[in-house]
């Protein structure tokens, strides 16, 4: 009998002691960013009923068709190792009655996920991922914030040429009509499609736009664009998302053929990657979007939601390749940013980023419009100062500073506020 050679399974890898420094660095960055934005950690099981993933992703998705590790238990239940976090977090949100909590509920998680895909560089069968999810808020500012957070994490980790691709895939109102137009186009090119896409044409033509085969890429380049067929609601939502990204000065490009490979996405979808100096684009390091129907699909109430999956394993590999070094720091929050009105909200997102860049901790409640609600939140947090940014302030480029201990208010020029607050914190 030949001697058994013990080695790791295909597509699995060890994270050796020498590599742990990179893993810890990424985990630290995700944790400090989520903490700064008021996200709470949740841990969901690695094993779920397979239906949790199949219902949301769609029976014809690659995850369900060929990538899920699923099997029957001794009791004949069909279960699966999680291929991603979002459906498990949504299941937990419903099961634990989190819809009764003040909305939105901001959750994050990290750990191993599993996909039975063909192993290749940067793509493992067991891989580490972080997931950031906001449930219970339909505001486009949430889409902008999720994209900004993903960008912040990658930038904080020393990655330089970060590229954000963004698109809207509409909703139940406008997508069925677009599918008909798309089906008609691809039918006329059917013979030029790969075997998988010829099958997808019958089941879900949108999946063809996600195909990476060279021959399908060529056919795809002439396909109609969903952005030209969005309903009024989806168009208005996407326009506001892009306005937030413009205000935040994020380096994004519109990719009209970006769809993501899962059925549960609605409206905004995005992927963030890094390009090398030679212009070669690495695989997506973070990707996600809005999924306003998933809570309902899994048996809950109608609940708008948005999230992102961040590929820890892929980022780690890239950092090791580039030999990127490490650093860190954290402080108690003493400032709360309150805003009123749409233009103030847009400028507030940028101001919040200026404080983050200056490493001055600050809390916010961008999804709330009432000043009283925001001041109550600030009061419960025990912050000393609230910066109030309304329509008049936005027009005249100043901000109102309120001392929560004395109730005294004063006005500060917008371009001086970061430095002014730094001095007040340091005086204490």
| CATH class of domain segment(s) 335-427 | alpha beta
Flag whether pLDDT at 169 surpasses 90. Answer: yes
DSSP output for 71-137 = EE-TT--EEEE-S-SHHHHHHHHHHTTGGGSSSPEEEEEEEEEE-----BTTB-SEEEEEEEEEES-
| CATH class of domain segment(s) 17-174+230-322 | alpha beta
**Range with the lowest mean pLDDT among 57-61, 90-94, 176-180, 247-251?**
57-61
Flag whether pLDDT at 316 surpasses 90. Answer: yes
Q: Which is more confidently placed, 379 or 210?
A: 379
Q: Which is more confidently placed, 220 or 328?
A: 220
Are the beta carbons of 29 and 315 closer than 8 angstroms? Answer: no
Give which of 169, 197, 200 is closest to 264, Cα–Cα: 169
**Range with the lowest mean pLDDT among 136-140, 219-223, 229-233, 275-279?**
275-279
Flag whether pLDDT at 336 surpasses 80. Answer: yes
- Quick one: pLDDT at residue 370? 85
Mean pLDDT is highest, among 138-142, 199-203, 320-324, for: 138-142
- Quick one: pLDDT at residue 106? 98
- Quick one: pLDDT at residue 1? 55
**Range with the lowest mean pLDDT among 63-67, 135-139, 147-151, 299-303?**
63-67
Confidence band (pLDDT; 50, 70, 90) for 64?
low
First to last CA, the chain: 75
C-alpha–C-alpha distance, residues 300 and 96, integer Å: 11
Tokens of 87: 């459906």
C-alpha–C-alpha distance, residues 400 and 361, integer Å: 18
Flag whether pLDDT at 87 surpasses 70. Answer: yes
Confidence band (pLDDT; 50, 70, 90) for 31?
very high
- Quick one: pLDDT at residue 208? 86
Over residues 93-125, the pLDDT tens digits come to 999 999 999 999 999 999 999 998 777 766 789
Cβ neighbors of 416 (< 8 A, separation 6 or more) are none
C-alpha–C-alpha distance, residues 134 and 60, integer Å: 26
- Quick one: pLDDT at residue 4? 67
In the chain, list all ranges with CATH 3.30.930.10.
17-174+230-322
Confidence band (pLDDT; 50, 70, 90) for 158?
very high
* Neighbour count for residue 241 (Cβ, 10 Å): 25
- Quick one: pLDDT at residue 195? 85
Mean pLDDT is highest, among 88-102, 189-203, 310-324, for: 88-102
Confidence (pTM):
0.81
- Quick one: pLDDT at residue 328? 45
Cis link prior to 104 (omega < 30° from 0)?
yes
- The torsion angle over the Cα atoms of residues 143, 268, 131 and 115, rounded to 10 degrees, is -170
Flag whether pLDDT at 332 surpasses 80. Answer: no
Over residues 8-27, the pLDDT tens digits come to 888 888 999 888 999 999 99
- Quick one: pLDDT at residue 312? 96
In the chain, list all ranges with CATH 3.40.50.800.
335-427
Over residues 132-150, the pLDDT tens digits come to 999 999 999 999 999 999 9
């Amino acid at each position: 009998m030949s001697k058994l050679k013990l080695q790791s399974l295909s597509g699995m890898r060890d994270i050796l002691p020498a590599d742990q420094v990179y893993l810890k660095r990424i985990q630290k960055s995700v944790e400090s960013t989520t903490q700064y934005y008021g996200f709470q950690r949740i841990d969901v099981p690695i094993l779920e009923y397979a239906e949790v993933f199949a219902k949301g992703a769609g029976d014809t998705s690659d995850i369900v068709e060929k990538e899920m590790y699923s099997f029957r238990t001794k009791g004949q239940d069909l279960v699966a190792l999680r291929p991603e976090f979002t459906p498990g977090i949504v299941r937990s949100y419903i099961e634990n009655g989190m819809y009764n909590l003040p909305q939105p509920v901001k959750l994050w998680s990290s750990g191993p996920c599993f996909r039975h895909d063909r192993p290749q560089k940067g793509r493992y069968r067991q891989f580490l991922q972080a997931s950031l999810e906001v449930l219970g808020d339909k505001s486009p500012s949430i889409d902008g914030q999720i994209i900004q957070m993903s960008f912040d994490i990658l930038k904080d980790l020393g990655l330089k040429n970060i590229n954000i691709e963004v698109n809207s895939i509409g909703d139940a109102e406008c997508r069925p009509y677009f599918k008909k137009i798309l089906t008609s186009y691809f039918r006329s090119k059917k013979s030029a499609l790969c075997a998988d896409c010829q099958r997808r044409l019958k089941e879900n033509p949108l999946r063809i736009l996600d195909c990476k085969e060279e021959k399908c890429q060529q056919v795809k380049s002439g396909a109609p664009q969903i952005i030209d067929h969005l309903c009024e609601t989806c168009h208005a939502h996407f326009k506001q998302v892009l306005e937030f990204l413009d205000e935040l000065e994020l380096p994004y490009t519109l990719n009209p053929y970006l769809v993501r490979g899962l059925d549960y996405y609605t409206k905004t979808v995005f992927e963030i990657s890094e390009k090398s100096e030679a212009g070669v684009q690495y695989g997506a390091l973070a990707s996600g979007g809005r999924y306003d129907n998933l809570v309902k699909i899994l048996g809950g109430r109608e609940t708008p939601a948005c999230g992102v999956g961040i590929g820890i394993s892929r980022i780690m590999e890239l950092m090791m390749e580039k030999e990127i070094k490490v650093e860190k720091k954290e402080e108690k929050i003493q400032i709360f940013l309150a805003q009123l009105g749409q233009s103030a909200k847009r400028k507030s997102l940028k101001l919040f980023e200026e404080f983050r860049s200056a490493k001055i901790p600050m809390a916010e409640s961008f999804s709330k419009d009432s000043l009283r609600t925001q001041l109550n939140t600030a009061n419960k947090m025990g912050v000393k100062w609230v910066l109030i940014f309304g329509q008049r302030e936005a027009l005249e480029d100043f901000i109102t500073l309120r001392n929560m201990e004395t109730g005294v208010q004063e006005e500060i020029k917008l371009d001086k506020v970061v430095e002014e607050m730094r001095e007040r914190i340091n005086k204490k």
